[in-house]
Amino acid sequence: MSHFGRTGPPDITDTYSLLILNITFRTTADDLFPYFDKYGKVVDIFIPRNRRTGDSRGFAFVRYKYADEAQKAVDRLDGKVVDGREITVQFAKYGPNAERIDKGRISESFSKSSYRSRSRSPRRRYRDDYRDRDYKRRSRSRSFDRYDRDRYRGRDRDYRRRSRSHSRSDSPDYYRGRGRGRYDDERRGRSQSRSRSMDSASPAQRSPTPRRSASPHRSPSPRSGSPDRHSGDRRSPTPHGVSPADRPADSRSQSP
């Protein structure tokens, strides 16, 4: 059974869900199966992962058919070292639909009747949130920090370069309005007012006002040394290119 959770929720009726925390990011359902299967009838194992990257989020759900077996698994596997990490096994407090469940027991009654029992507790679902609290207290500039290391992490520098040569298809704006699921909904909702100021400031720095300078901080200045010579020769960095003709974009205001 290697397709746990891939075919969707099988039969969640009268099953007992266990929440497995602290598992490694590479632990799969197959890895957990032998551990939990030893203590009872495992109906299904599901490991939520990031839809964009497909990475494990660090926890899993194991559904047992009987409560006593689930309880035993909690007692026996809680604190067990799996894949080199101590896992935490406990009964799930919420159901697949985020409804509150009792002792990890899932039944149709709970899925329909007690559904509205919750929705009052906006729990966090993403690591962005837990990190957010850390970055929140130190500075409010986390608005962009979060994007840098959470959404793009180290790849942001890539999309920046590529977006120039390729097209807007690689720009973050494209993703935000295209292939974004409900995950980004919540984060986008609260940054709505803030994102506006960011959107108008970010592109304003790179696109308009090109007359400022080509690269003020880079300043090739090849005269000091001669590292660019071999590459500069073929590029013919002749000063004649500095003429106004080089900047047609300045036609709107080249001499204020």
Partner DNA sequence: GTTGAGCGTT
Task: Give contact residues for DNA (rule: CB under 7 A).
Answer: 5-9, 12, 17, 19, 21-25, 44, 46, 48, 55, 57-59, 61, 63, 85, 90-98, 101, 106, 123-125, 127, 130, 153-154
Q: How far is the CB of 202 from DNA (least distance, A)?
A: 23
Separation in Å, CA 2 to CA 32, 40, 65: 11, 18, 18
Separation in Å, CA 65 to CA 56, 70, 126, 158, 193: 24, 8, 29, 47, 47
Residue 168 vs 182, nearer CB to DNA:
182
Residue 85 vs 162, nearer CB to DNA:
85
Residue 52 vs 196, nearer CB to DNA:
52
Concatenated DSSP letters for 43-64? EEEE--B-TTT--B-SEEEEEE
Amino acid at 219: S
Q: How far is the CB of 55 from DNA (least distance, A)?
A: 5
Q: Which residue has the tokens 């400022």?
A: 212
Phi then psi dihedrals of residue 183, to 5 deg: -60, -40
- What is the token pair recorded at 111? 């899925």
Residue 125 vs 161, nearer CB to DNA:
125
Residue 48 vs 203, nearer CB to DNA:
48
Concatenated DSSP letters for 92-108? -SB-TTS-B-BTTEE-H
Residue 49 vs 176, nearer CB to DNA:
49
Other C-beta atoms closer than 10 Å to the C-beta of 43 total: 21
Please list the alpha-helical segments (H only) found in 166-255.
172-177, 183-190, 192-206, 229-235
Q: How far is the CB of 112 from DNA (least distance, A)?
A: 14
Helix, strand, or coil (residue 90): strand
Residue 28 vs 195, nearer CB to DNA:
28
- What is the token pair recorded at 155? 């790849």
Q: How far is the CB of 10 from DNA (least distance, A)?
A: 7
Q: How far is the CB of 182 from DNA (least distance, A)?
A: 8
Q: Which residue has the tokens 């962005």?
A: 128
Q: How far is the CB of 196 from DNA (least distance, A)?
A: 28
- First vs last Cα of the chain: how many Å apart? 72
Q: How far is the CB of 82 from DNA (least distance, A)?
A: 10
